[in-house]
Structure 1
Amino acid sequence: MLSRRQKHILLKFFSLFSVVRGYNILVIVIAQYLASIYIFAPDKPLGAVLFDLNLLMLVLASSATIAAGYIINNFYDSEKDLINRPRKTMLDRLVSQNTKLSFYFILNFLAIVFASYVSFRAVIFFALYIFAIWMYSHRLKKLPMTGNLVSAILTVTPFFVIFIYYKNFELVIFAHAIFLFLLVSMRELTKDLENLKGDLALDYKTVPVVYGEKMSKYMLTILAVLTIIVGIVLILFFKIGHMYYFFYLSVMLLSIFLLIVWKSNRKMHYLLLHNILKFIIVAGVFSILLIDVSVVLNRL
């Protein structure tokens, strides 16, 4: 049996894991490596990608920066989250704000250390990334449209740094990036609808607060239609192997999303829509394997 002190430490660990969204970071790490193997550097030997120390350092720097970003976001949104997510917030509060801030600075310092292994330009890139995340959490996220746009850009930035590292400018990469960017933009707007109660209470100027739920649904509809179009373009005009199964599934789920969004008027409805988008994004990460099922064997 665990002692009382051990249980307390374990609870604090889970609290910190919840704050930094450890599961999200793990998915991002997997996505960065799969994208490197199948999309950014498809012609390189598998071992050259997996054991590339520069790539590892960029992935670690990204992970540390994102984790720090979740902490500072949690710090600024603690009151709003208490309204929107009371159970999760109670778990998050097992770790003090001072401890969270200490981890925030440690993680950002580690990100710069990891980036310094690669190059001075990588250090500058991650320093700007850290600043941008802080600016978003502190001020920009409270602005309608701007907050959503910046959040979507910050979300795809970890893939942008790998893209720059490999200098692969194939058109298919831009098509994938646009698809992901649109999905993330939809997710951010859906989260705003889901968190409308807390945003209203604390005067966050999000799109639903400023323009209303109906206008937000029109914007979601436009974004969903654009995402479906990009998905169809990827199916018809690019060599994506068996990944076309994922895009067919995405088109179907986004069509269902469009049907549900106009019938939604409660938090649980928006939570369902949010989970649909999260499923598409996570499924997209692992469906990268379908681009070429035999690629691992051929490149050993």
Structure 2
Amino acid sequence: MNIEFEPLCDLHGGSKLATRGYLCHMSSRQFTITGFIKLTRFWNLLIIVFSQYFTAVFLVSPGKVWDINLFFLSTATVVIAAAGYIINDYYDVKIDLINKPERVVIGKDVARRYAILSHSVLSFIGVAIGFWLNWKIGVINFLSAFLLWWYSNNLKRQPFVGNFVVAFLTGLSVFLINVLYGTHQPLVTIYAIFAFVMTLIREIVKDMEDLKGDNTFGCKTLPIIWGTRKTKFLIYFLLTLLFGTVIYINQVYKQLPQLYFFIFLFVPLVFLLARLVRADTKKDFYYLSQWCKVIMLLGVMSMVFI
């Protein structure tokens, strides 16, 4: 396998990346399975699968676990999400070399040409499966794939709108269960809102974590426009909404054990709030971002008790 040294070019056709120097990467034919798995965020995709299956089985009907349509819906959602992760990393190579150089995959483990090809193929598969299932799901999947591309290409560099898009699509992945089965289960909508708000918080926290690289390349994220202190106040407000959602679920649907509610939902949210108040470094915000993911998983698991 050939190793070659060449300047990393601007993915938007601009000048070469002078701040990083030369990037040592594999040949243009390079493609590794481990690199692809890393690129598509395997564990995040697994959370999506669990979210949709738990929503269908515990909030709609236990018999749905073996439903072939649910399997295909989950498959379509996962491949579109994977395509979104790929195109996001494709456009963000330069920024990631500053924010998280050890996690850069494109140009090293997966060649750029294979990355863009994988994105196109996975997006097509996800949209095609969607139309096969239901024309409404097909339209939603098409718009989701488009929004993920637009987010990666432009929206994520704008204040708040990029965060909102990712959060909206995350909540939508839960709400799709109602669309698939033609139901109007209120709990599905409530959990979709929970996923939306929790993801919105995590995306804003990630912007604070990536402040240095985003600022270097002219991104206009909330922490850059408002500063970290004001951005934290927005997260405090969102956490208040999240506390309200969790308390509402606990009060209206009494099946949720009080011990689970207190230990696995309320306490982690309080802990997140306390750590956010003191957070100041990149490491602090990375920790909070991972903790947000844990809370999302605990929220999904709470469906078992509904």
Q: Smaller-chain TM-score range?
A: 0.7 to 0.9
* Aligned with residue 88 of structure 1, among 94, 100, 103: 103
Measure, in 2, the Cα distance between the counterparts of 1:140 and 1:56.
31
Contact (CA 8 Å) 1:194, 1:267: kept in 2 or not?
yes
- Does residue 178 (structure 1) correspond to residue 193 (structure 2)? The answer is yes
Aligned residue in 2 for 1:203: 218
1:192 and 2:207 equivalent? yes
Q: Secondary structure at the match of 2:279?
A: coil
Instruction: Classify the secondary structure of the residue corresponding to 2:257.
Output: helix
- 2:15 aligned residue: none
Q: Which runs of 4+ in 1 moved over 4 A?
A: 8-11
Summarize the Cα distance change of 1:17–1:252 in structure 2 as closer, same or farther, 3 Å threshold: same
Secondary structure of 1:31's counterpart equals: helix
1:123 is displaced (CA, Å) by 2.3
The equivalent residue for 1:14 is 34
Question: Partner residue of 2:238?
Answer: 223
Q: Structure 2 counterpart of 1:27, which letter?
A: I
TM-score by length of 2: 0.84
| In structure 2, distance between residues paired with 1:217 and 1:73 | 25
Greater mean deviation of Cα atoms: 84-93 or 146-155 = 84-93
Q: Which residue of 2 aligns with 1:146?
A: 161
Which residue of structure 2 lines up, in the alignment, with residue 31 of structure 1?
A: 51
In the TM superposition, what is the alpha-carbon distance from 1:259 to its structure 2 partner?
Answer: 1.8
Higher relative contact order (CA 8 A, sep 6+): 1
- How many Å apart are 1:247 and its aligned residue? 5.7
How far did residue 179 of structure 1 move? 2.0
SS in 2 for 1:241: coil
CA contact (8 A) 2:88 2:152 kept: yes
Corresponding residue for 2:249?
Answer: 234
Tell whether 2:51 aligns with 1:66: no
- Greater helix fraction, Structure 1 or Structure 2: 1
Deviation at 1:113, TM superposition (A): 2.8
What's the counterpart of residue 57 of structure 1?
72
What's the TM-score once normalised by structure 1's chain length?
0.86
Cα–Cα, structure 1 residues 71 and 17, in superposed 2: closer, same or farther, change >3 Å?
A: same
Distance 1:10 1:135 in 2: 27
The secondary structure found in structure 1 opposite 2:166 is helix
Q: 1:265 aligns with which of 274, 280, 298?
A: 280
Give the partner amino acid of 1:71.
I
- What are structure 2's unaligned runs of at least 5 residues? 1-26
- Aligned partner of 1:150: which letter? V
Letter in 2 for 1:130: A
Aligned twin of 2:136? 121
- Structure 1: any 5+ residue segments left out of the alignment? 1-7, 292-300
Task: Tell me the equivalent position of 1:3.
Answer: none
